[in-house]
Structure 1
Amino acid sequence: MSFSRPAVFAALLPLALAACGGGNDRPSETLAPAQVTTIGVNSYLWRASLETLSFIPMAQVDSAGGVIVTDWYANPSAPTERMKLTVTILDADLRADALRVAASRQLYNGSQWLEAPVQAATVQRLEEIILTRARELRRSTVIG
């Protein structure tokens, strides 16, 4: 199961309301290691984060430090609201506590952008989407 843009939009909607696997001819039944550090952070979390946020312009992408900062993004259906995300991968292991998502939200009042609160459930849902995708990527990787 993978998450599409509508799923990510659905996760972000509350804001408006308040490495490919390698292998040989014989696939292995063993899961790929949970710790992959060739890029400085867990590659499954990294790829899942980039895929999940692929529709948002990126301001900073640092694979060695494990930080992704998006530019401001306004959903076309809510142009007076915009958001900016920071995803930080904190560990080389594929674990829930190795991922942190922070969000900023602004509303346009007709003349300027003003800070607005972000619902905690929105950030949690985005973390769940990224973690689920990272686990899918790990399962799909065949080691040989």
Structure 2
Amino acid sequence: MANTRIYKLILGGLLVVSLSACGGRGLFGSGQNERRENDQNGFSRDYDSAAAQTAAERGDSIFDLFANNDDPNVTLRVNKYLWNASLDVLNFMPVQAADPFTGTISMGYGRPQGSSRAYRATVFITDPALDARSLRVSLQGSGGAAVATDTTRAIEDAILTRARQLRIADGKL
């Protein structure tokens, strides 16, 4: 029992020594990896200490990582026509999850009318533009079976066509 305590103590000491070596200034560090720059007077300036001084002047702390300092005026944009068209075209599938901030819609298994095969889909809308590059659809057959790329392309084309129809209808208001 005493041997296991000694081993744990030695292992803990080795862990502390090895972690201190990672910093570059610890037990084994010579400080040669530091980035330095000469200021206008020719004196050497340490970037790490300058960053720490700037953070101290602003009052930054480790707890700022957990604070909600996000700007409420910043919004992520997803094309509303592609979003609504995806829901219209894939209306035979139940929506499992939808995240308008990332532009992701996850659908569960559903059967299109007149088909015996069930599909599930994930739609990715990556850009606010009404463009084919802004839309990606991932389809899976029942049991995780692969779906032909022609089928996936047909679904993407149907979503794009419906999105253009929605945009035209919106413009007539």
Quickly name the TM-score band, shorter chain normalised. Answer: 0.5 to 0.7
1:61 aligns to what?
A: 98
Superposed displacement of residue 85, structure 1:
0.3
For residues 40 and 115 of structure 1, the distance between their equivalents in structure 2, rounded to whole angstroms, comes to 31
For residues 160 and 113 of structure 2, the distance between their equivalents in structure 1, rounded to whole angstroms, comes to 26
Letter in 2 for 1:47: N
Higher share of residues assigned strand: 1
Change (3 A) 1:76 1:143: closer
Match of 1:84 among 110, 120, 134: 120
What is the TM-score of this pair, normalised by structure 1? 0.61
For residues 92 and 76 of structure 2, the distance between their equivalents in structure 1, rounded to whole angstroms, comes to 22
For residues 115 and 142 of structure 1, the distance between their equivalents in structure 2, rounded to whole angstroms, comes to 40
What is the TM-score of this pair, normalised by structure 2? 0.51
- Residues 1-144 of structure 1 mapped to structure 2, 5 A cutoff: 40-75=77-112, 79=116, 81-106=117-142, 114-142=143-171
For residues 156 and 114 of structure 2, the distance between their equivalents in structure 1, rounded to whole angstroms, comes to 23
Q: Secondary structure at the residue paired with 1:118?
A: coil
Superposed displacement of residue 143, structure 1:
7.4
For residues 145 and 111 of structure 2, the distance between their equivalents in structure 1, rounded to whole angstroms, comes to 14
Instruction: Report how many residues are paired.
Output: 99
Letter in 2 for 1:133: R
Q: Secondary structure at the residue paired with 2:91?
A: coil
RMSD (Å), alpha carbons? 2.3
Change (3 A) 1:77 1:135: closer
Unaligned ranges ≥5, structure 2: 1-74
For residues 105 and 137 of structure 1, the distance between their equivalents in structure 2, rounded to whole angstroms, comes to 28
For residues 137 and 39 of structure 1, the distance between their equivalents in structure 2, rounded to whole angstroms, comes to 21
Q: Radius of gyration: which is bigger?
A: 2
For residues 115 and 65 of structure 1, the distance between their equivalents in structure 2, rounded to whole angstroms, comes to 24
Superposed displacement of residue 51, structure 1:
1.0
Superposed displacement of residue 117, structure 1:
2.2
Higher RCO (CA 8 Å, separation ≥ 6 residues): 1
For residues 118 and 77 of structure 1, the distance between their equivalents in structure 2, rounded to whole angstroms, comes to 17
Superposed displacement of residue 121, structure 1:
0.4
